[in-house]
Structure 1
Amino acid sequence: MTIPLTSSLVAQTVAIDDPRQLLPFADQTSPLLWVRKGHGLVGLGEALRLEFSGPDRFASAAAAWREVCASADVTDEVRRPGTGLVAFGTFAFDDESSATSVLIVPRTIIGRYADASFITRVRLSGDIDDIEPQSTGYGPEYRIQLVPGEQSRDGYVSAAEQAITRIQAGELSKVVLARDLTGHLPAEADRRRVLHDLALGYPDCWTYAVDGFIGSSPETLVRVDRGAVSARVLAGTISRGLDADADRDQALALATSRKDQDEHRFAVRSVLSALREHSPELRSGEAPFTLKLPNLWHLATDIEGRLSDGSSSLDLMDGLHPTAAVAGTPTRDAVALIRELEPFDRGRYAGPVGWVDASGDGEWAVALRCAQIAPDGDITAYAGCGIVADSDPTSELLETKMKFRPIVEAFA
C-alpha cells in the first residue's frame, strides 16, 4: 500500500560547512538516522511517507519510489549518493508480518561525509515551509532494564532442540532462531541517548533509526554506488577473549570451526545467487575473514561487482531478502520453521533498513542488534543465531546473550 501524492516533491541540496556531529540535530522522540564513524545522514520531519506490506512490499516500494522520483523537481549542487531526494526505509522480515514497511522522505536532511557536507530541503510543490535544523543537547539520562519477552530462555533452548532434530532429519540445512526482550521507555525520554551509545560503542556498525526502529548493525545487505554493488555477509560468531592471547585463540577457533564455516557458506551462497542475475561478474574472497567487534568475532565475506541491468538498491532487496544469515537454508523451509517455533512476529528485525536516493543508489543493512520502540514507549529487542545440525542449544542461547549486549547496554 502507498499513500498517494497530491502534488510533486521539490528537493534542493546545497553544500554546507562540516557540522562535526549529526546526532544532535536529530529529533529527540522520532529520530531519523543513518551513521557510521560519524558520517551519514540525519533527517527531520516527514515530507512523504510510503507504506507497504505483504510479499510484494519490495517490488511495490521500488515502483512507488521510481514514480515519486520521476515527478520530483530536484536541484542538487553536491551530486553524490545520498544527496538530492532521499528516503529512509525499514522493511518487515516476514511476508506475513503485521509490521508496516515504510519509506520516509524527511523535510530536511543533513549529510556528512569525509569529502562533503550538505543540507537537503524537501517540500511539496506550493509549500514554502522549511524545518530549520538545530543542534540540541541531550535530555536527562535514564536507565531501562530489558527482560525476557514472549520467548523465555528455556523456550529458546527447546526451540533450538526441535530445530536441530528437524535439520538432522534432513528437512532443511539451517534455520536462524531469535528470541526477544522487552521494556518500557518513558514518554519524555530522549531516544538519541541510546543512539549515541550505540554509535560510540560500535563505530564500525551502521547505527540507524527509522520510524521508532533503532539499532546498530555490522552487516551490509547491499550498497549501490553509481553502478557498483557490494555486500558484507556475516554468519558465524564467537565471543571475544578476556585478554589478547585468549582473543587470538577465540578468533582462531571461529575460523577453524566446521559448524560456523558451514553456517557462513550457506549465507554467502544465498547472496551470490541473488546478485548474480544483476551482476554476472561478482568477486568474493575464497575464505571468510574474522571481523572483530567490541563484544564478539564474526566470520565475514565481502562481495563486490558492477550492475549490468540498472537495478536500484530497492530492486535488489527483493531477491536478496531474506539471506541465509537471518533465515536459513532452504529459505522457504527455514521461514516456515521460524513461524512455527518463534512465538512472536519478528516485525522489522532482520529485515532491510537504510536509505535510497533518486538515482537508486543506497545503503541497506540487515537490521540486527535492534529494538522497536512503539508509540506508547514499549520496547521489543531481538537477537538470533543460526542453527545447524551440530549446534548446541545452550551455546546458541549464550550467543543470543552476546548479540543482545549492544542494545541492552545502550538502554541500561
Structure 2
Amino acid sequence: MSQLPTTSSLRSGGHGDPEKSESEQRALVATTVALDAGSETLDDLLALLPARRRVLSWVRHGEGLVGWGTAAQIRTSGPERFAHATKWFDELAAASTVSDEVEVPGSGLIGFGSFAFADLPGYSVFTVPSVVVGRRGDAAWVTTIGPAASPPPVLAPTAPPESPRDVVFADAYVDGEHWMRIVADAVSRLQAGDLDKVVLARDLLAAADAPIDIRAVLRRLADTYPTCWTFHVDDLFGATPELLVRRERGLVTSRVLAGTIWPTGEDADPQRSSDLALAASLSESSKNLEEHEYAARSVADALEPHCSSMNVPEAPFVLKLPNVMHLATDITGVASDGVSSLDLAAALHPSAAVGGTPREQAVDLIAEIESMERARYAGPVGWMDATGDGEWGIALRSAEMIDDHTARLFAGCGIVAGSDPETELAETQAKFVPIRDALS
C-alpha cells in the first residue's frame, strides 16, 4: 500500500543538497545541427526522452525543447540566486566553443532553470544538458554539449512509459479547514488596509505503489493542456498557463493570469452557452477584475525599467483551459540592450499573480501565515540560451518529486478584501486537477 511521507521530509526540497556551492567552471563545446522538421520522429518531442528521472522539458503545442544529461549545473539560494546563475552561465558561455548552424532562439549553448519562490528557504538550479532536441515552426535541431565535440545521438521514440498506479492523495502541511482559517486571517488584514492582495497556496502529497515514470505524467499533461507549457526541471514538473516572460531577439512578452472561474462540471464543453455565461461572469466580476488589475500593473511596473518601449492592453481577455478560465493580459515591449530573459524574470518575480500587492508586504505575510514552504512552486521555470533569449514561465499547476514514489502538489489563489475562504478553497481544489489527473 502507498505510504505518504511526513512533512518534515519535504523541507530539503525532496532530494539533493540545497546548499551545494557553484561547480568549478569549465569550458564546454556545444554543437547544433539542423534536423528535418517534417520528420515523424520529431512529431512528439516527449517521446524522445530516455527512461531516466533527470530529463528536461519545455513543450507547448508539440513544439519546444527537451533534453537529458548534465554537462554543467549550478545550485544556488538566497536573494542573489538569479544573479549567481546569470554570472555563472555568462562565464560558461564566454569560455565555451559554440558551433550553431541553426541560429534560432534555443539553439547553441542552452540551460534550463528553476528558481525558488522565496529568498530563503529553498534552492534554485540551472542545468546545461548534454543533449537538447528542439523544434519550432519550420526549424528543428539537436544540440550536443560536453567537454569535447561529439556526434549527435540517433533519435528515436522510446518505449511508452507506464502510467502511475494506485496513487493515494492526502493533505500535506495543513488541511482544508486550517487553510480556510489562514485565508480568513488574510482577509481581515486586507480589510484593515494592510495590503491590497496576497496569494496563498496549499499542498497535497501523492504516493504511488510503484516508481513514477515522469515521462508518463508529462505526456498526460501535454495531451490534456496543449496550450500550456509542459515543463520538467530537476524533479519540478507541471503544465503552466502563465508565461512570466519571453525574450526573442529583443522582443519581450509577458502573459498575466489573475482572476479565475471554473466550470460546474456539468458543462465541460467550452462552446456550451453555460460556459460562455461563466466567461462573461468572470469578465464582469469586480473581485476578479481587481485581482487582475493588481497583477497586470505589477508586471508592467517591473518591466518598464528594462524596456525601451511597452504596450499594455486596457482590458484583459478570458483564457479558457480544459478545467478553468482565467482573466489574461499579454504585455509586450522591447528589451533594453544587455538585458537577458533571466534578468527580466528576476525583475518580475514575484509578480502580484503569485505574491501580492504591495510586493514586499505580501511576501512577508506569506512567510508569516501560509504555514508551508513553497520551495520552487510559483518561482520562474524555463530556459535561456547564450544570447540571452529564453522563455520563463511561473511554476504553477505543478508538483515536485520527493522520491521515486512520492510527489508534492501545489495550488494557490489570489486573496483580496472581498474573498470568501470557502470559495478560495474550492478554487485551489480546481487548480489541483491537472496534476492529480496526470498522476492518477
TM-score (norm 2): 0.90
* SS, match of residue 326 in structure 1: coil
Instruction: Tell me which moved more, 253-262 or 183-192.
Output: 183-192
1:402 to 397, 410, 430: 430
Residue 216 of structure 2 corresponds to 193
Residue 139 of structure 1 corresponds to 161
Q: 1:140 to 1:308 in 2, by over 3 A?
A: closer
Residue 369 of structure 1 corresponds to 397
Confirm or deny: 8 A CA contact 2:50 2:158 kept in the other structure: no
Confirm or deny: 8 A CA contact 2:168 2:208 kept in the other structure: no
Cα deviation for residue 183 of structure 1 reads 1.6
2:120 to 88, 93, 96: 96
Unaligned runs of 5+ in 1: none
Residue 297 of structure 1 corresponds to 325
2:384 to 356, 366, 379: 356
2:369 to 337, 341, 354: 341
Residue 90 of structure 2 corresponds to 66
Q: Is 2:103 aligned against 1:87?
A: no
C-alpha separation in 1, matches of 2:262 and 2:252: 31
In structure 2, give the amino acid aligned to 1:231. S
Residue 16 of structure 2 corresponds to none
Q: 1:305 to 1:123 in 2, by over 3 A?
A: same
Q: Is 2:195 aligned against 1:172?
A: yes
* SS, match of residue 307 in structure 2: coil
C-alpha separation in 2, matches of 1:282 and 1:78: 30
Cα deviation for residue 284 of structure 1 reads 1.9
C-alpha separation in 2, matches of 1:72 and 1:185: 42
Q: Is 2:305 aligned against 1:277?
A: yes
Instruction: Tell me which moved more, 221-230 or 233-242.
Output: 233-242
C-alpha separation in 2, matches of 1:250 and 1:128: 54
Cα deviation for residue 186 of structure 1 reads 5.1
Cα deviation for residue 62 of structure 1 reads 1.3
Q: Give the count of matched residue pairs.
A: 410
In structure 2, give the amino acid aligned to 1:104. T
Residue 9 of structure 2 corresponds to none
Confirm or deny: 8 A CA contact 1:151 1:342 kept in the other structure: no
Cα deviation for residue 25 of structure 1 reads 1.4
Residue 77 of structure 1 corresponds to 101
Cα deviation for residue 185 of structure 1 reads 4.1
* SS, match of residue 362 in structure 2: helix
C-alpha separation in 1, matches of 2:210 and 2:98: 37
Cα deviation for residue 4 of structure 1 reads 3.3
C-alpha separation in 2, matches of 1:327 and 1:103: 23
Greater than 6 Å deviation, 4+ residue runs? none
Q: CA-to-partner distance for each residue in 1:97-139, whole Å, 9 max, x for gaps? A: 2x320111110111111211110000114x7597655421223
Cα deviation for residue 251 of structure 1 reads 0.5
* SS, match of residue 106 in structure 2: coil
Instruction: Tell me which moved more, 180-189 or 102-111.
Output: 180-189
Confirm or deny: 8 A CA contact 2:28 2:96 kept in the other structure: yes
Confirm or deny: 8 A CA contact 2:164 2:211 kept in the other structure: no
Residue 119 of structure 1 corresponds to 142
2:358 to 330, 333, 346: 330
Unaligned runs of 5+ in 2: 1-19
Cα deviation for residue 59 of structure 1 reads 1.3
* SS, match of residue 282 in structure 1: strand
Q: Is 2:336 aligned against 1:313?
A: no
Residue 16 of structure 1 corresponds to 35
2:277 to 249, 265, 270: 249
TM-score (norm 1): 0.96
In structure 2, give the amino acid aligned to 1:283. N
> How is 1:145-164 mapped onto 2 (pairs within 5 angstroms)?
145-164=168-187
Residue 248 of structure 2 corresponds to 225
